[in-house]
Amino acid sequence: MISNAEIKWVRSLHEKKFREREGAFIVEGEKLVREALNSGFEVLHCWWRDEIGEQAMSRISCLSSPSPALAVLRQKAEAPLPAPGGLCLALDGIRDPGNFGTLLRMADWFGIPTVFASPDCAELYNPKVVQATMGAVFRKEVHYAPLPEICAQWREAGFPVLGTFLNGENIYQTELPADALVIAGNEGSGISAAVAEQVTGRLTIPAFGGNGAESLNVAAATAIVLSEFRRR
């Protein structure tokens, strides 16, 4: 069963300020909850629809159609920033929770160990982000930090900082390094000016469709870029 006090508490976690205050977040869906139980995250509570009923689950759910399971987990403390090296991803102003979560899922798929995020990115523990990661939230190391400083550290360590631009080099005809920091820019404005100043290489994904779409969705573009890095 679930008490009215617990329902009120879970509902408060729909809002960022209470997630931050409580240091907790919501995970929904049978698959995600089962992953959460085996993730190493501390599980504070777990409820199943068959046990508490449809009405109670609908009151605590963040979804329009309540899922079979919901868990509340303790947020993990952010680890110290890792030293530059390897193939890593930096998210510059990715504000849409769906895009942010999908990008973490991409990082998980392509074996990217570390993701850096600018402070104005979507919140990692936003329920929409968690849902969009499809479990990557349990496996990826995400660091919120000023990206110009992160880029400068990579440059000083001798590693390239690469981003996608309309006026960049054709990614299919460019030699790509094994180790690099790859920047994914904001959905509307792309890579910010401060981060662009730190970029050592500009890449372009060429269009093959004539006068069609002006640009790619940031998640789609990042998937292409990471795939090309791994293909080499």
pLDDT digits (tens, 9 = 90+) for 120-140: 999 999 999 999 999 999 999
Q: What is the phi/psi pair of residue 2, to 5°?
A: -135, 135
- Residues 94, 47, single domain; the answer is no
Percent of the chain's residues with pLDDT above 90: 86
Strands ordered across the beta sheet of 69-74: 24-28, 69-74, 43-48
Could you list the residue range(s) of the whole structural domain that residue 123 is in?
87-231
Instruction: Show the CA angle centred on residue 200, arms to residues 198 and 205, nearest 5°.
Output: 110
The reported pLDDT for the residue numbered 231 is 87
- Residues 115, 164, single domain; the answer is yes
- Residues 223, 144, single domain; the answer is yes
Domain count, the chain: 2
Q: Where are the alpha helices (DSSP H) in the chain?
A: 4-12, 16-22, 30-37, 49-52, 54-60, 97-109, 127-133, 147-156, 193-196, 218-231
Give the list of residues 6+ apart from residue 58 with CB closer than 8 angstroms, or none. Answer: 66
In contact, 186 and 71? CB cutoff 8 Å: no
- Residues 127, 204, single domain; the answer is yes
Q: How confident is the model at residue 35 (pLDDT cuts 50, 70, 90)?
A: very high
Give the list of residues 6+ apart from residue 146 with CB closer than 8 angstroms, or none. Answer: 118, 119
- Residues 103, 205, single domain; the answer is yes
Paired with 45 in beta bridges are 72
How far out from the chain centre does Cα 62 lie?
19
Quote the tokens at residue 78.
Answer: 């952010």
* Counts of helices then strands in the chain (DSSP H, E): 10, 9
In contact, 143 and 115? CB cutoff 8 Å: yes
The residue among 42, 74, 106 that closes a domain is: 74
What is the mean predicted confidence (pLDDT) over 58-84? Answer: 93
Residue 215 has pLDDT above 90, yes or no: no
Choose among 127, 137, 177, 136: nearest CA to 157: 177
In contact, 206 and 215? CB cutoff 8 Å: no
The residue among 74, 96, 131 that closes a domain is: 74
What is the mean predicted confidence (pLDDT) over 176-203? Answer: 95
